[in-house]
């Protein structure tokens, strides 16, 4: 532990306005003896084509489906989707929806798609060019607009599960889109809190938050003309970051070309910084990424602000952060401050220099 990392033993809770809940911060626990699991850092060489990968160009998928010999980004319907286009009732269901009914269910239909970022099996976002990431952003925007225009779709979630440590079943660089009739629980809560703030103040919560974070400059990792990357004040995971617009943008469909390019630079910066900090320079670190934005209900949402969450599983390059007993049954708890995490990420980002 360096002098910079030494902290006065203390503990406190920080409030997350997007979830209306507190999380425990105990930064002195980083110095405790660790006898748990550690990871050997390995980055075996990965070829740009894998014959057994169901995402690579020209390869067979489920059934008789075969990928085209695509040369850029590529989107296809998930062959094992979580949502079905239509629901077949196999047995009578209770329609009771009173507040005292303890056994409730409702049908859910939707669309699941897979987006391949590149035809190359070893081209992750961390080692893609900014121009390549910009093409991914463009495809996200196209799919959000097309799928969100459907009458049976009210929410489009764009996300990525990167790396085996986070549960990815395929190492080909890809993300997913799950679009459905109902707004899922987590974005529904965030939308509700933003709406309440707007109703009380007449202002956009996350625009206010970004302005204050930039002014404080304690947790900002990177900023450009249109976006800021920061470690949120209420952060739950050790090196969690958010990517937020600096102007009102409630959905990815509202990005102009310059803003899309700025977002691509921000995504490149985040993934390359994680790759550097966690010593995985070839293919990047594992992470979860999710884009929260407005519902696709054809309404204007001045109260809502598009934002992107990144979560990584690491405390150090060889040690994971597990959400264990207290986190599962009490509340979120972290072993370092958001300011400590931001400083380390900022140092790595600055060391990247002009490589974007």
Distance CA 177, CA 157 (A): 6
pLDDT value of position 112:
97
What does pLDDT average to over the chain?
A: 90
Instruction: Locate 146 and state its tokens.
Output: 């097309």
pLDDT value of position 216:
96
Let me know if 174 is a catalytic residue: yes
Q: What phi and psi values does residue 209 have, to the nearest 5 degrees?
A: -65, -45
pLDDT value of position 181:
94
Active-site choice (155, 172, 174, 292): 174
pLDDT value of position 1:
41
Q: What phi and psi values does residue 84 have, to the nearest 5 degrees?
A: -105, 150
pLDDT value of position 212:
98
pLDDT value of position 2:
44
Q: In sequence order, which ranges of the chain are alpha helices (DSSP H)?
A: 130-148, 185-201, 205-216, 257-277, 325-329, 338-352
**DSSP string across 241-262:** EEEEESS---SGGG--HHHHHH
**% of the chain with per-residue pLDDT over 70:** 90
DSSP 198: H
Q: What phi and psi values does residue 311 have, to the nearest 5 degrees?
A: -130, 135
pLDDT value of position 95:
56
**DSSP string across 97-143:** --TT-SS-----BEEEEEEES-SSTT--GGGS-HHHHHHHHHHHHHH
Q: Cα–Cα–Cα angle for 220, 137, 263, nearest 5°?
A: 20
Q: Return all residues near 105 (Cβ < 8 A) that are at least 6 apart.
A: 93
Q: Is 93 left (phi over 0), alpha (psi -120 to 50) or beta?
A: beta
204-219 pLDDT, tens digit per residue, is 999 999 999 999 999 9
Q: Is 89 exposed, middle or buried (0-12, 13-18, 19+ CB in 10 A)?
A: exposed
Instruction: Locate 13 and state its tokens.
Output: 């809770």
Q: Return all residues near 288 (Cβ < 8 A) that are at least 6 apart.
A: 159, 160, 161, 162, 166, 309, 310, 311, 312
Domains of the chain as residue ranges with CATH: 20-25+45-81+106-356 (3.30.428.10)
63-72 pLDDT, tens digit per residue, is 889 999 999 9
> In angstroms, what CA-CA distances link 128 with 135, 136, 263?
11, 10, 14
Residue ranges of the chain whose pLDDT lies below 70: 1-9, 29-38, 87-98, 354-356
- Sign for the CA dihedral angle at 2, 286, 248, 139 comes to positive
Q: Return all residues near 249 (Cβ < 8 A) that are at least 6 apart.
A: 255, 259, 305, 306
């Amino acid at each position: 532990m360096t002098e910079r990392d030494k902290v006065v033993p203390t503990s406190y809770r920080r409030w997350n306005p997007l979830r209306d809940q507190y999380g425990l911060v105990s930064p002195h626990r980083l110095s405790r003896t660790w006898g748990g699991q550690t990871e050997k850092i390995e980055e075996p060489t990965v070829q740009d084509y894998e014959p057994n990968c169901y995402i690579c160009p020209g390869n067979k998928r489920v059934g008789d489906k075969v990928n085209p010999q695509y040369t850029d980004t590529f989107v296809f319907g998930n062959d094992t989707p979580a949502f079905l286009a239509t629901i077949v009732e196999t047995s009578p269901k209770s329609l009771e929806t009173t507040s005292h009914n303890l056994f409730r269910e409702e049908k859910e239909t939707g669309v699941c798609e897979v987006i391949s970022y590149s035809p190359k099996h070893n081209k992750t976002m961390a080692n893609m060019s900014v121009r390549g990431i910009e093409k991914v952003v463009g495809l996200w925007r196209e799919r959000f607009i097309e799928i969100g225009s459907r009458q049976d779709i009210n929410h489009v979630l764009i996300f990525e599960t990167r790396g085996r440590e986070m549960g990815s079943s395929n190492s080909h660089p890809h993300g997913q889109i799950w679009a459905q009739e109902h707004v899922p629980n987590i974005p529904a809560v965030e939308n509700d809190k933003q709406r309440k703030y707007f109703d009380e103040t007449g202002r956009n919560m996350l625009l206010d938050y970004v302005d204050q974070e930039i002014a404080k400059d304690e947790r900002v990792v990177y900023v450009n003309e249109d976006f800021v990357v920061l470690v949120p004040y209420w952060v739950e995971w050790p090196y969690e970051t958010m990517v937020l617009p600096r102007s009102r943008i409630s959905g990815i469909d509202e990005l102009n070309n310059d803003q899309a390019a700025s977002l691509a630079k921000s995504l490149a910066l985040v993934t390359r910084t994680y790759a550097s900090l966690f010593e995985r320079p070839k293919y990047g670190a594992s992470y979860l990424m999710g884009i929260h934005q407005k519902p696709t209900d054809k309404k204007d949402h001045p109260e809502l602000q598009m934002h992107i969450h990144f979560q990584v599983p690491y405390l150090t390059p060889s040690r994971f952060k597990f959400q264990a007993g207290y986190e599962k049954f009490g509340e979120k708890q972290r072993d370092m401050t958001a300011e400590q995490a931001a400083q380390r990420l900022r140092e790595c980002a600055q060391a990247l220099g002009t490589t974007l």
